[in-house]
Chains A and B, each alone.
Chain A
Amino acid sequence: MALGVISKEHLGKLIAAVSRTGRFLGPVDKGDGVCLTQVSAGDMLALDYVNFILPPKRMFFPRSEVIATHGSDGMTATPLPEGRVVLFGIRPCDVLSLVYLDKVFLDEKYADPYYRSRRDNAVIISLACRQPAPTCFCTSIKGSPAGKAGADILAVDIGDVLLLESVTATGEAFMAEYGKLLDKPSAEQVSSRQAQVAAADAKMARVSIDQATAKLRARFDAAAWDELTARCLGCGVCTFLCPTCHCFGLYDEQVGGQNRRVRAQDACAFPAFTLEASGHNPRTRQGMRMRHRMMHKFCYTAESFGEIFCVGCGRCIRSCPANLDIRETLTEVSK
């Protein structure tokens, strides 16, 4: 484990140094919210934000990507993405989501080459939270405002400087590579980090998810599902903004004699998600679809991967047009 500090003013130098050999993506305020965007040395990074609008899964598992083109000469797979990418400023909850997505896409037998390539190329510098939003509840699940799981380096904002701590060998190598830009942290800085993390932790909302898996299992057939989700409009906001939702479909497109195969994200909130070729749809009501989403996150993944696929980022709560709150749904159905 290596420690180092970098002053916020010198981030531009780090960006310039990284940009010589790869890409640097960081938080940029685009007016409609802060997004993880490719930056160059002169750009201003927004360091005062709650979280990105879109989850970082987009960097590894885009909403849609062309995976092959095909024509009379057969099918040609899209080349794997190359080049190092440094992702700076992802929040610890979101970084944890990548650990979960790895379980899905980096399965021993059926690893996804595109996902793997992007993961292998990435250096993740996460940024600990200072001010959780009213929708945040990571500490109720497995997260922490300064959680390290999934990050290569954890950065903590302690005023004028960022305190960096390497978490993985990749992170340690990265810090060694750019060691010239880093200073040794003082004891005072290390202790202010502790205080900073504890303060953010204390502000976090709590929700009890004790034995949620077993309780949800037992209530699969509960009539409450329809009543609870009556206000659900049936859009895909919660799934598309969720850092762990990963269902996708494959589509062949043809335009003007050219063909390609596209992988695009899909959402269990849409009726067409389960529509069968016969015309039969096993999930006819919105309540059934919402139940599936909850069961998938809190039961199926817990049973098959040993993890609840929710990191408490609160995006689904914040952006739901009908103000459905996953915390309440969870409390209600696990009664």
Chain B
Amino acid sequence: MHDMETKLRKAAKDLLESGKVETVVGFQNGSLPLRTRPHFVRDASVADTLVWNRFCTNNLAAYLPRLFEKPASVRGQWSPPKIAVAAKGCDARSIIGLIKEHQVPRGSVVIIAMPCQGMVDPRKADAAAGEAVTDCHAGADGAFEVTTVSGRTRTLQRDQVVAEACLGCLHPAPAIADVKVEGPSQAPAAERFARAREFEAMAPAQRWELFLKEIAKCIRCYACRQACPNCYCKSCFIEQSKPNWAGAGDDPSDLLLFHIGRMFHQAGRCVECDACVRACPMHIDLRLFTQKLVKDVEELFGYVPGASLDDMPPLCAFQSDDSESFITHP
């Protein structure tokens, strides 16, 4: 891990010094235990502020549409900036999606591929340790040694500490790479849609009740939307006034409309990075619902979002023999 950090810094320095990119998007140390924060390096002399460890959770692709947006002050021709991103498997999949949707110009983005062993979820670590964890590092056999606020040290198992998204990850290593940083990568998960299958097995009324219970926690801060790399719309449907899709209050029906609308908009695009889940201050289990969309596009159209630059996004394409199972025949 430390080795990868050194390589990443060197790669960033080279890219900046050679003028190949103007900005390297990566991580720096955060202000809280078990946290890092997105970091924008524009000068080779500070490339050493980049860090790489098991806390680099944010999906950095979320910043790209904004960084590649043509500034309002520029009139006429504009050439986009050159930007490098230290990308984990999920970040790279999001970037591929954004390239396909023309939000990121392929020629202007440099993907520094960072193989991933799964990132630590601080909330999970705190819950498993029973109190706030102040330090956490990988120990032997994939386990983690943690120190808690009261000074105790404990050993926690990988699945007690590593984020749920990472435990179910099929693509821990980036699918495309412009600069490769060698390093260890976890084995792809074997069972993927376990939670969706379990949920599908429940009765509809029970599912609806659980869905309502989760959504009722929403305070409409829109952190899920803002943290999502796919949510780059200039004006979100929920904030439009013509037409006015939903009320601004916390009427359950309006909360439903927002979440159904936002999640369904991820159909065929969601890479299950869990940025929305991590961002939610109310711990809404959005993953349980978005997983269904990922499962459906894979089962119905054989499509894995962000796996390749070549295939068409599934909802922009069609086949003559697509499923007709949902059609009502009188």
Using CB atoms and an 8 Å cutoff, list the residues of chain A in contact with chain B. Answer: 32-33, 53-54, 63-66, 131, 133-135, 230-231, 233-237, 239-241, 249, 251, 253, 262, 264, 266-267, 270, 272, 284, 317-319, 321-325, 327-328
Report whether A251 and B247 are in contact in the complex, using a CB–CB cutoff of 8 Å: yes
A322 with B58, Cβ < 8 A, contacts A134-B32, A235-B227, A236-B222 known: yes
Shortest Cβ distance from A64 into B: residue: B249
Q: Which of B239-288 contact A (CB under 8 A)?
A: 239, 247-251, 275, 278-279, 281-283
A318 to B282 alpha-carbon distance, docked (Å):
12
B226 → chain A, closest Cβ, in Å?
4
Least Cβ–Cβ distance between A261 and chain B, in angstroms: 10
A237 contacts B223, C-beta separation under 8 Å: yes
Which residues from chain A contact B281 at a C-beta distance below 8 Å? 53, 237, 240-241, 319
A-contact 0/1 string along B217-246, CB 8 Å cutoff = 101111101110000000100010000000
Q: Is the CB of A270 within 8 A of B222?
A: yes
B40 at the interface (CB under 8 A from A): yes
With A231-B38, A323-B35, A327-B31 as given contacts, are A63 and B250 in contact (CB-CB < 8 Å)? yes
Contact of A236 among B33, B134, B221, B235 (CB under 8 A): B221
The residue of chain A having its C-beta at the shortest distance from the C-beta of B279 within the complex is A321
Give the chain B neighbours of A322 by CB distance below 8 A: 37-38, 58
Interface-central residue, B33, B239, B275, by most chain A CB under 10 Å: B239
Taking each of A54, A241, A262, A322, which has the highest tally of chain B beta carbons within 10 Å of its own beta carbon? A322
Give the interface SS of chain B, mostly helix, strand, loop or mixed. Answer: loop
Given known contacts A33-B283, A233-B226, A235-B227, is B247 in contact with A240 (CB within 8 Å)?
Answer: no
What is the distance, in angstroms, from A93's C-beta to the closest C-beta of chain B? 18
Number of interface residues of B (CB under 8 A): 39
Known: A53-B281, A134-B132, A230-B40. A317 touches B32 (CB 8 A): yes
Contact of A240 among B37, B219, B278 (CB under 8 A): B219
Closest residue on chain A to residue B228 by CB atoms: A233
Contact indicator B249/A264 (Cβ below 8 Å): yes
Number of residue pairs across A and B with beta carbons under 8 Å? 105
Contact A236 B38 (CB under 8 A): no
Query: Do A235 and B239 touch across chains, with their CB atoms under 8 A apart?
Result: no
B38 touches A270 (CB 8 A): no
**Cα–Cα, bound, A229→B277 (Å):** 22
Could you list 30 examples of A-B contacts with CB < 8 Å? Answer: A63-B249, A64-B250, A64-B251, A66-B249, A131-B149, A134-B134, A230-B40, A231-B40, A235-B221, A235-B223, A235-B225, A235-B227, A239-B221, A241-B219, A241-B221, A249-B248, A262-B249, A264-B249, A267-B221, A272-B239, A317-B32, A319-B281, A321-B58, A321-B278, A322-B38, A322-B58, A323-B31, A323-B32, A323-B37, A324-B37
Residues of A within 8 A of B149 (CB): 131, 134
Of B38, B62, B221, which is within 8 A of A237 by CB?
A: B221
| A318 touching B221, Cβ below 8 Å | no
Looking across the interface, which residue of chain A has its beta carbon closest to that of B236?
Answer: A272
A contact residues around B53 at 8 Å (CB)? none
- Neighbouring B residues of A65 by C-beta, 8 Å: 249
| Measured CA separation A141–B134 after assembly (Å) | 25
The distance in angstroms between the C-alpha atoms of A33 and B126, with both chains bound, is 11
Chain B residues whose C-beta falls within 8 Å of the C-beta of A63 in the assembled complex:
219-220, 249-250
In contact, A323 and B239 (Cβ under 8 angstroms): no
Q: Is B36 an interface residue (CB 8 A)?
A: yes
